[in-house]
Amino acid sequence: MLYKGSCHCGNVAFEVEGTIDGALACNCSICRRKGSLLWFVARDQLKVTTPEDNAAAYLFNKHVIRHRFCPACGIHPYGEGSDPNGNATAAINLRCIDDIDLDAIPVQHYDGRSL
């Protein structure tokens, strides 16, 4: 299925193809503060429909995940990194996708704080 989403102001917009079968809620220092629900897909399933430069990037800790956010409204719609096998991945913030029922998506809690 094709989903569309964006930051709050629309400065960073995207489309993502796939099946949402679950979300991840991480308690690391940044995810806990953002309150995002993450859905991981291959990076090529994510198409940013606004100029790539509209999204700023934040790196911290091991500098392996590019936390992408809108510098205008501050919302974090997605992140970019690699899976354990080195494949490019995207972590989509499900709270930024239009017209989905978040309550119907099972959430797995991940202890990123302890890593």
Sketch the domain layout of the chain as residue ranges: 2-109
Distance, first Cα to last Cα, the chain: 33
Q: What region does 30 belong to: left with phi over 0, alpha with psi -120 to 50, or beta?
A: alpha
Residue 105's pLDDT band (boundaries 50, 70, 90)?
very high
Share of the chain above pLDDT 70, in %: 100
* Residue-averaged pLDDT of the chain: 95
pLDDT tens, position by position, 84-100: 899 999 999 999 999 99
Q: Is 90 exceeded by the pLDDT of residue 113?
A: no
> Cβ distance 105 to 20 under 8 Å?
yes
The β-bridge relationship of strands 2-6 and 13-17 is: antiparallel
Q: Is 90 exceeded by the pLDDT of residue 60?
A: no
Torsion sign (Cα): 36, 41, 47, 48: positive
Architecture of the domain whose range is 2-109: Beta Complex (2.170)
- The residues facing 107 across adjacent strands are 23
What's the angle, vertex CA 86, arms to CA 54 and CA 114, rounded to 5?
A: 85
